[in-house]
């Protein structure tokens, strides 16, 4: 069985090559993203293994199906980037990794909060320049602050637990309240109430038509002046130009992003030798109270190992006719 991996970096290859596999399983690692142009690289491969910024739209899936692909194995939990209707029509099955390490993402979320609050990037740059002044570095105590968690699945729950440990008051919004989260003393509220009462708002829900631009102008207006917004979930949950306006007016006090609506052509690449073409991202990068990481929240050794082993298990189970972790078209 030939498996073609797209969007692979050194760490992906290492985690897959460390796993035992049967001699008739061939790994072909491609560095380029899966696009309409690169889809032909999978010709003859029964399985295509794709990551979050790969193009899995109908035309790309058609090329893959025509080349003999039968299974799309996603190395991600999120599956908003695949046209499930087209996959269904083309008889392509889709599997994913529902959970690898929710802690990796939750802990990165906390890293963004602490770095923004205590101005760590400014402090780091200053001390390296021999500037040991503290002007502009005042933070706030996290204890007794109110944190709003939007989406209390695996990652939101892990995040809520950590923030409860800081002594924060936790509010949550999720159409399906989680008893495990309620047991932490967390109160579920309507979204508008959560936005109005929180000093820190963190997004942990999936991207769907219902959550597209969940944080828009009216949501931002409901948030407290000077509050902090963190998005480690999916870029399009946030209407970025509106967030820029809120940062310019000072209404939004801090912004931490690990995901960006237009990240697909930027993240995971070293573009440092070229002028940045994305003016919205360029503007975001000018604010001292904004930290952007390039979709790295998942990047821990534990998460990479879990992604590789679950992906390979998914592929083997599918090949043996007992598919697991299938992504089904909701009708």
Alpha-helix runs per DSSP H in the chain? 10-17, 58-66, 84-89, 102-117, 120-128, 154-165, 179-182, 191-197, 217-222, 240-249, 279-284, 301-319
Contact range with ligand NAD by CB under 6 A, out of 53-61, 114-122, 170-178, 312-320: 170-178
Site string for ligand NAD, 289-328 (x = CB under 6 A): ------x-xx------------------------------
Site string for ligand NAD, 78-117 (x = CB under 6 A): x--------------------x--x--x------------
Give CA angle at 99 (331, 62), nearest 5°. Answer: 45
Which one of 10, 143, 183, 210 is in contact with ligand NAD (CB under 6 A)? 210
Contact range with ligand NAD by CB under 6 A, out of 4-12, 30-38, 153-161, 269-277: 153-161
Task: Identify the CA nearest to 222 among candidates 251, 257, 186.
Answer: 251
Kindly state whether residue 211 participates in binding ligand NAD, applying the rule CB under 6 A: yes
Q: Which tokens hold the place of 327?
A: 């992504």
Q: Which is nearer to ligand NAD, 169 or 204 (CB)?
A: 204
Count Cβ atoms below 10 Å from residue 273 Cβ, excluding itself: 5
Kindly state whether residue 235 participates in binding ligand NAD, applying the rule CB under 6 A: no
d(CA 140, CA 261): 29
Which one of 258, 314, 315, 325 is in contact with ligand NAD (CB under 6 A)? 258
Which one of 5, 6, 51, 173 is in contact with ligand NAD (CB under 6 A)? 173
Contact range with ligand NAD by CB under 6 A, out of 7-15, 23-31, 119-127, 199-207: 199-207
Q: Which tokens hold the place of 135?
A: 């002007």
Give least dist CB 311 to ligand NAD, A: 14
Q: Which is nearer to ligand NAD, 38 or 53 (CB)?
A: 53
Kindly state whether residue 188 participates in binding ligand NAD, applying the rule CB under 6 A: no
Looking up tokens 């980037």, which residue turns up?
A: 81
Question: Which helix (H) or strand (E) element contains residue 148?
Answer: strand 146-150
Give least dist CB 195 to ligand NAD, A: 12
Cβ-based burial of 70 (10 A; exposed 0-12, middle 13-18, buried ≥19): middle
d(CA 80, CA 234): 9
Which one of 69, 117, 156, 242 is in contact with ligand NAD (CB under 6 A)? 156
Kindly state whether residue 145 participates in binding ligand NAD, applying the rule CB under 6 A: no
Kindly state whether residue 234 participates in binding ligand NAD, applying the rule CB under 6 A: yes
The terminus-to-terminus CA distance of the chain in angstroms comes to: 31
d(CA 242, CA 128): 34
Count, residues near ligand NAD per rule CB under 6 A: 30
Give least dist CB 302 to ligand NAD, A: 13
Residue with the CB atom nearest ligand NAD in the bound state: 153
Which residues 6+ apart lie within 8 Å of 173 measured at CB?
148, 149, 150, 151, 188, 189, 190, 191, 194
Which residues 21-60 are close enough to bind ligand NAD by CB under 6 A? Answer: none
d(CA 54, CA 50): 6
Question: Which helix (H) or strand (E) element contains residue 202?
Answer: strand 200-203
Which residues 6+ apart lie within 8 Å of 6 measured at CB?
30, 32, 33, 34, 38, 41, 42, 48, 49, 50, 51, 54
Looking up tokens 């959560």, which residue turns up?
A: 194
Give the active site residues: 234, 263, 295
Which one of 4, 72, 115, 150 is in contact with ligand NAD (CB under 6 A)? 150
Which one of 87, 149, 205, 247 is in contact with ligand NAD (CB under 6 A)? 205
Enumerate binding residues for ligand NAD (CB under 6 A). 77-78, 99, 102, 105, 150-156, 173-176, 204-207, 210-211, 232-234, 258-259, 295, 297-298
């Amino acid at each position: 069985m030939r498996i073609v991996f797209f969007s692979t970096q050194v760490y992906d290859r290492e985690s897959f090559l460390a796993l035992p596999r049967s001699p008739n399983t061939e790994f072909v690692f491609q560095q380029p993203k899966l696009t309409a142009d690169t889809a032909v690289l999978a010709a003859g491969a029964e399985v295509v293994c794709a990551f979050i910024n790969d193009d899995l739209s109908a035309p790309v899936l058609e090329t893959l199906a025509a080349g003999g692909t039968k299974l799309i194995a996603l190395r991600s939990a999120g599956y908003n980037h695949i046209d499930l209707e087209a996959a269904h029509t083309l008889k392509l099955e889709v599997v994913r990794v529902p959970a690898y390490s929710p802690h990796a993402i939750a802990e990165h979320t906390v890293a963004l909060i602490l770095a923004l609050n205590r101005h760590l990037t400014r402090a780091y740059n200053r001390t390296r320049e021999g500037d040991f002044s503290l002007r502009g570095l005042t933070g706030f105590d996290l204890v007794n602050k109110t944190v709003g968690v939007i989406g209390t699945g695996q990652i939101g729950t892990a995040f809520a637990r950590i923030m409860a440990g800081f002594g924060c008051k936790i509010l949550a919004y999720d159409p399906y309240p989680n008893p495990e989260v309620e047991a932490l003393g967390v109160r579920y509220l309507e979204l508008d109430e959560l936005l109005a009462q929180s000093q820190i708002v963190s997004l942990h829900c999936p991207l769907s038509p219902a959550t597209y631009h969940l944080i828009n102008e009216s949501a931002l207006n409901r948030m407290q002046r000077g509050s902090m917004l963190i998005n480690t979930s999916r870029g399009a949950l946030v209407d970025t130009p509106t967030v820029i306006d809120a940062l310019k007016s000072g209404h939004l006090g801090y912004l931490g992003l690990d995901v960006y609506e237009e990240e697909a052509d930027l993240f995971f690449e070293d573009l440092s030798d070229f002028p940045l073409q994305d003016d919205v991202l360029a503007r975001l990068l000018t604010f001292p109270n904004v930290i952007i990481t390039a979709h790295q929240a998942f990047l821990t050794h534990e998460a990479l190992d879990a992604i590789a082993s679950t992906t390979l298990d998914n592929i083997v189970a599918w090949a043996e006719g007992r598919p697991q972790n299938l992504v089904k078209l909701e009708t």
